[in-house]
Amino acid sequence: MNKEIIIIKGIKKFYKVGNQEVKALNGVDIIIHKNEYVAIMGPSGSGKSTMMNILGCLDSPTAGTYILNGTDVSKMDDNDLAEVRNKEIGFIFQSFNLLPRYNALDNVSLPLIYSGIGRAERDLMAREAIESVDLTDRLHHKPNELSGGQRQRVAVARALVNKPSIILADEPTGNLDSKTSADIMKLFADIHKKGNTIIVVTHEEDIAKHAKRIIRLRDGLIESDEVNKNCLDYN
């Protein structure tokens, strides 16, 4: 078995809404190993968005422990969390989150600026990441000159450029048509086969079935955590 990349023990996240306390997560335990491909699912209000924010070091738990690649990140302050995010996590969002004035190369190289890497090396690493998603002919195109699928490929390249411990995708095909969605999920399968750890947060069964393991949340707790025996694996 590969090394444990994520160890979550007793994670709770409570929010105050007026006079009420909302228990978004109420004691969750998860272990994810290197090179796993996991989908996290659940209906609205299940806690999956809160789980994504904690996994992505965008938020801290109220209680519990989160070990990411050997480091306890559950008690870190915002500055330390930002550093961990940039180094350990590659994000892919439904809305792409590309900067409109930057071309594909500059969008992909953006995380490397925060890592203190010089321009020449940034460009080289960004070119390699863009090449890995088959978009070399669009290096100098801005987001408004790209299709939705091409924009998501740029976002995937940006997530890969820092060689993070995990790729965390939030509804990655939510703004794409079905054919383009299938192309992006095939790309995810290719990335997984190269050794990357992928976590997809989704409410769509069609997207989750591409993962090797499906974790379902309900009312802030794990309802099920199973190997996906019907995984759509591309060969």
pLDDT of residue 44: 87
Tens-place pLDDT, residues 27-74: 999 999 999 999 999 998 899 999 999 999 999 999 999 999 999 999
The beta strand positions in 73-206, using DSSP E, are: 89-93, 166-170, 197-201
* Contacts by 174-178, CB closer than 8 A, 24 or more apart: 174/94, 175/94, 175/95, 175/96, 175/148, 176/148, 176/149, 176/152, 177/148
Q: How far is CA 209 from CA 14, 87, 109, 174, in A?
A: 30, 29, 31, 15
pLDDT of residue 124: 96
> Which domains are seen in the chain, by residue range?
37-50+77-227 (3.40.50.300)
Tens-place pLDDT, residues 218-233: 999 999 999 999 887 7
What is the token pair recorded at 222? Answer: 């794990």
The beta strand positions in the chain, using DSSP E, are: 4-17, 20-33, 37-41, 63-68, 71-72, 89-93, 166-170, 197-201, 213-218, 221-227
Please tell me the distance from the alpha carbon of residue 202 to that of residue 211, in angstroms, as a whole number: 11
Rounded mean pLDDT, 86-102? 92
Confidence band, pLDDT 50/70/90 cuts, at residue 1: low
Confidence band, pLDDT 50/70/90 cuts, at residue 234: low
Q: What per-residue string of b and e applies to 138-177 under the rule 16 or more CB within 10 Å gives b?
A: bbebbbeebebbbbbbbbbbbbbbbebbbbbbbbbbebbe
CA 209 to chain centroid: 17
* Residue 25 identity (one-letter amino acid): L
Phi and psi at 40, nearest 5°, equal: -110, 120
Tens-place pLDDT, residues 138-197: 999 999 999 999 999 999 999 999 999 999 999 999 888 999 999 999 999 999 999 999
Q: How far is CA 35 from CA 11, 180, 213, in A?
A: 23, 24, 12
**Residue 112 belongs to what H/E stretch?**
helix 104-114
235: pLDDT strictly greater than 60: no
Mean pLDDT of the chain: 93
Please tell me the distance from the alpha carbon of residue 180 to that of residue 83, in angstroms, as a whole number: 33
Which distant-in-sequence residues (6+ apart) come within 8 Å of 62 by Cβ? Answer: 12, 13, 14
Tens-place pLDDT, residues 100-143: 999 999 999 999 988 889 999 999 999 999 999 999 999 999 99
pLDDT of residue 114: 82
Tens-place pLDDT, residues 5-23: 999 999 999 998 889 998 9
